[in-house]
Amino acid sequence: MTEKFYITTAIAYPNGKPHIGHAYELIATDAMARFQRLDGKDVFFLTGTDEHGQKMQQTARAEGISTEELAERNSNEFRAMGKMLNASNDDFIRTTEPRHHAASQEIWKRMAANGDIYKDSYAGWYSVRDEAYYAEDETQVRADGVRYGPQGTPVEWVEEESYFFKLSAYEDKLLKLYEDQPEFIGPVERKNEVVSFVKSGLKDLSISRTTFDWGIKVPDDPKHVMYVWVDALTNYITATGYLTDQNGPRAKYWPADVHIIGKDIIRFHAVYWPAFLMSAGLPLPKKVFAHGFVLNKGEKMSKSLGNVVDPANLVNHFGLDQVRYFLLREVSFGHDGSYSEEAIATRINADLANGIGNLASRSLSMIVKNCDAKIPEPGELTDADKAMLATADAMIATCREEMSRLAIHKIVATIIGTVNEADRYFAAQEPWVLRKTDTARMATVLYVTAEVVRQIAILFQPIMPASSAKLLDLVAVPEDRRSFAFLGEAGRLTPGTVLDAPTPVFPRYVAPEPDAKA
């Protein structure tokens, strides 16, 4: 039976248009989903929008439109961003959908049936921007007289009747989980943060609100709507149908293999979510992994700094696969990273145009000109040829290993390492000299180089899907021989295969003239 693999992004608040941080998360998760699909797994990849909560209602009011309208408009923007980024998600969930209301009420009922929900009243600090409750000692009053929470967002005093979840009862169970499953939280910095938060003592969590109504109604008490994070986290299970139809076609995907999220929401995913699931008697996800923040030239994006970049502008300017490549190569997955136009341009030219693009076009155009436009028959392999092929053949094992740790930047580095080695091999073998002195030897060098290009292109598919497909077209690899099963000896190029003259896949980036830009 094919191994299943279920991967999710966080679901974004559609209170505004998507920004580069959202694009980054979707691109990285898409690359992981594509990797596992190409590696033969039965993948379910989910993304979507988190449409309830006070922030949505307040934003809609400020814009003078209904909350439904705001949610619909911006949810469509997120969906469109997914298309623009070539995201391969299998579903797009909106938390306002009936299927999600049903699943959220079901999980609530199960937690209640387990005796973990009680009614009381809440009095404490709340950040609408984070949709989070904070203890007083997590907040501070700054010089401007405003009280802020730990993420630097303003908090307000909330006092109302509320249902509570007995989170305090899960302290030991959670600590045991982190110990028994050391890989449950990644990277290790986030794990340490979560463990010390839980060790410092957990208070019961307010899980319903009565002072506004934009949310999912609490079963049997419609005056209350669920705290937005209770419903938001449940999206991951809604989409599988596991809670409502155990025999449905997607129920088999639960539990998730990994939730990919940003570092600011690790507490919700690594503390609240497993506690809710334990309470409801449901299996836990295998892993929660928090990526870092993408900064604009080292600065946090904010509307007040005016440096919020629309991902569509970046893609229109540099090209989609170029942006995908840059973000996955430049940012160490799990840590913060920075981008600037200069850094993107440098990577495009060094790694793509001068790197794989140049290697493919030089070697393949030599084949077209000197070998009758057919993949040549290799002669006996020298040690240099064997070493080159061994490097290419070894990539998949390294990439799988890195993927098991979600070190996607290291996968990209491994592939680029092979590109660089192939460049050195090609330069050292001088096939353009062999063309006059030893055409049989030239044929072998060109065969080896084209074979390395084939493997590089196969492995680059999760990172740059469209450009890799073009590279694979150039070496005439049939569509059904592009999965990882064909890496190494299993898929070696067949001599005699006819090639078309190569067209450039990665043009050099040339910055527009300053006045053309204005």
Binding site for ligand ME8 (CB under 6 A): 10-13, 21-22, 24-25, 50, 232-233, 235, 261-262, 264-265, 293-294, 301
CA distance 443 to 505: 24
Which residues, in sequence order, are bridge partners of residue 8? 46, 259
Give the nearest distance from C-beta 123 to ligand ME8 in angstroms: 25
Give the nearest distance from C-beta 510 to ligand ME8 in angstroms: 28
CA distance 499 to 474: 7
CB atoms within 10 A of CB 42: 14
CA distance 384 to 375: 20
Give the nearest distance from C-beta 317 to ligand ME8 in angstroms: 19
* DSSP percent split of the chain into helix, strand, coil, nearest 5: 50, 15, 35
Which residue's CB is nearer to ligand ME8, number 51 or number 385?
Answer: 51
Give the nearest distance from C-beta 349 to ligand ME8 in angstroms: 25
Asked if 400 and 423 touch (Cβ cutoff 8 Å), the reply is: no
The alpha carbon torsion through 174, 175, 180, 181 (nearest 10 deg) reads 60
Which residue's CB is nearer to ligand ME8, number 127 or number 235?
Answer: 235
Give the nearest distance from C-beta 384 to ligand ME8 in angstroms: 43
Sign of the CA dihedral running 374, 375, 377, 380: positive
Which residue's CB is nearer to ligand ME8, number 209 or number 441?
Answer: 209
Give the nearest distance from C-beta 331 to ligand ME8 in angstroms: 9
Pinpoint the alpha helices (H) of 208-352.
Answer: 228-238, 266-267, 273-280, 311-318, 320-330, 341-347
Which residue's CB is nearer to ligand ME8, number 272 or number 486?
Answer: 272
Residue 316 corresponds to which tokens in the numbers above? Answer: 């229109």
Sign of the CA dihedral running 485, 490, 496, 502: positive
Asked if 306 and 312 touch (Cβ cutoff 8 Å), the reply is: no
Nearest Cα to 234, choosing from 199, 193, 277, 194? 277
Strands (E), 77-236: 91-94, 117-127, 132-134, 140-141, 147-148, 156-165, 185-186, 205-206, 208-209, 217-218, 221-226
Give the nearest distance from C-beta 313 to ligand ME8 in angstroms: 16
CA distance 67 to 215: 11
CB atoms within 10 A of CB 516: 7
Query: Pairing mode, if any, of strands 258-262 and 288-291?
Result: parallel
Asked if 162 and 120 touch (Cβ cutoff 8 Å), the reply is: yes
| Secondary structure of residue 375 in the 3-state scheme | coil
Which residue's CB is nearer to ligand ME8, number 21 or number 187?
Answer: 21
Which residue's CB is nearer to ligand ME8, number 331 or number 375?
Answer: 331
Which residue's CB is nearer to ligand ME8, number 12 or number 446?
Answer: 12
Give the nearest distance from C-beta 298 to ligand ME8 in angstroms: 12
Which residue's CB is nearer to ligand ME8, number 267 or number 454?
Answer: 267
Which residue's CB is nearer to ligand ME8, number 235 or number 468?
Answer: 235
Give the nearest distance from C-beta 59 to ligand ME8 in angstroms: 12
Give the nearest distance from C-beta 26 to ligand ME8 in angstroms: 9
Which residue's CB is nearer to ligand ME8, number 49 or number 279?
Answer: 49
Give the nearest distance from C-beta 335 to ligand ME8 in angstroms: 11
Which residue's CB is nearer to ligand ME8, number 233 or number 493?
Answer: 233
First to last CA, the chain: 57
CA distance 291 to 189: 11
Give the nearest distance from C-beta 473 to ligand ME8 in angstroms: 33
Q: What is the DSSP letter of 293?
A: -
Give the nearest distance from C-beta 273 to ligand ME8 in angstroms: 8
Which residue's CB is nearer to ligand ME8, number 214 or number 506?
Answer: 214
| Secondary structure of residue 354 in the 3-state scheme | helix
Residue nearest to ligand ME8 (CB): 262
For residue 196, with 0-12 CB atoms within 10 Å meaning exposed, 13-18 middle and 19 or more buried, which class applies?
exposed
Which residue's CB is nearer to ligand ME8, number 256 or number 450?
Answer: 256
